[in-house]
């Protein structure tokens, strides 16, 4: 992915040492363990470096961007060096849990904490569908991209929330409501198929992120040697913001396999792949 605009923050400990912010525009990379190839990687540096030098000698070091990572080649010296990175602006990072939308503009994520981080490849209006055991009476405030919606847990479980206007290539934090186990984010207008496994049972869910009712056909392709009680469905009059689902029982060889629904619901049909463990 091309370099994106990050958010203010700090770096976690790295395999080679630690990154310390000395001022708003200066990083010190303290090397505790020199890699065999003499290259260190600082993941998620969104601010462009001005120059990268060895701290005590001022010697310029070779560096490059690899996506959102800064890769520096260390000098050939006996002692572990300290690397000084002068930045072109305030430090901004891309958190390691950042999920970037796929080619259809869809993010499918399982939050690991109380905040998720999203990035869109293109500017778009999006909505969010939440899944998880939430208190239906609890009041929630869902904030993304500077816009907040106050909703109940009941609304979160039944319909999409939005729209939010997400700018291109910018990391945005999203506070995760208590109990949420999965979130789908899609551009407004999309009809999205997603997979939700539970043991040998698999729910195929279609969510209408559009503003008009939707209809279409759903097929669940399976790898050779797999079978399911049902593999195709038809839906009609799916209201905006709502979902419809079917549960099928699948059997097949053990292991992890990526499945993806084939959805025909018009021009904005999309499908989110999911890794299934049997």
Is 186 exposed, middle or buried (CB count within 10 Å of its CB: 0-12, 13-18, 19+)?
buried
Query: For residues 226, 228, 232 and 234, what is the CA-based torsion angle, rounded to 10 degrees?
Result: -150
- Walk across the sheet containing 69-73 and list its strands: 39-42, 69-73, 63-66
Q: Which of 98, 99, 123, 107 is nearest to 194 (CA)?
A: 107
Tokens describing residue 144: 């993304």
Give the pLDDT band of residue 4 (cuts 50, 70, 90): confident
Average pLDDT value for the chain = 93
Give the pLDDT band of residue 3 (cuts 50, 70, 90): low
Q: What is the pLDDT of residues 236-278, one digit of tens each?
A: 999 999 999 999 999 987 778 899 999 999 999 999 999 887 7
Same fold, 17-87 and 189-278: yes
d(CA 110, CA 243): 19
User: Residue ranges per domain, the chain?
Assistant: 17-87, 97-185, 189-278
CATH number, span 17-87 = 2.60.40.1180
Q: Which of 114-123, 150-159, 252-261 has the lowest mean pLDDT?
A: 252-261
One of 1.10.10, 2.60.120, 3.30.70, 3.30.2420 is the CATH number of 97-185, namely: 2.60.120
pTM above 0.85, yes or no: yes
Q: What is the pLDDT of residues 239-250, one digit of tens each?
A: 999 999 999 999
CATH number, span 189-278 = 2.60.40.10
Q: Are 163 and 148 in contact (CB under 8 A)?
A: no
d(CA 228, CA 278): 13
């Amino acid at each position: 992915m091309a370099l994106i605009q990050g958010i203010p923050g700090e770096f976690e400990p790295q395999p080679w040492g630690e990154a310390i912010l000395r001022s708003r525009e200066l990083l010190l990379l303290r090397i505790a363990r020199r890699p065999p190839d003499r290259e260190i990687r600082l993941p998620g540096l969104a601010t462009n470096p001005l120059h990268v030098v060895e701290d005590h000698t001022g010697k310029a070091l070779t560096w490059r961007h690899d996506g959102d990572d800064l890769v520096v080649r260390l000098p050939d010296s006996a002692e572990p060096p300290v690397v000084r990175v002068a930045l072109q602006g305030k430090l901004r990072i891309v958190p390691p849990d950042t999920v970037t939308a796929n080619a259809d503009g869809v993010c499918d994520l399982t939050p690991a904490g109380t905040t998720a981080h999203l990035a869109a490849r293109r500017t778009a209006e999006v909505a969010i569908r939440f899944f998880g055991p939430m208190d239906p009476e609890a009041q929630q405030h869902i904030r993304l991209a500077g816009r907040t919606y106050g909703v109940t847990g009941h609304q979160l479980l039944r319909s999409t929330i939005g729209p939010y206007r997400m700018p291109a290539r910018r990391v945005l934090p999203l506070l995760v409501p208590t109990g949420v186990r999965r979130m789908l984010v899609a551009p407004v207008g999309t009809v999205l198929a997603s997979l939700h496994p539970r043991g040998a049972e698999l729910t195929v869910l279609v969510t209408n992120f559009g503003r008009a009712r939707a209809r279409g056909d759903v097929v669940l392709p399976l790898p050779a040697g797999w079978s399911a009680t049902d593999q195709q469905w038809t839906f009609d009059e799916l209201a905006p913001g709502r979902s419809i689902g079917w549960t099928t029982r699948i059997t097949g060889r053990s292991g992890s396999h990526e499945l993806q629904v084939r959805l025909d619901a018009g021009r904005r049909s999309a499908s989110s792949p999911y890794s299934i463990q049997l």
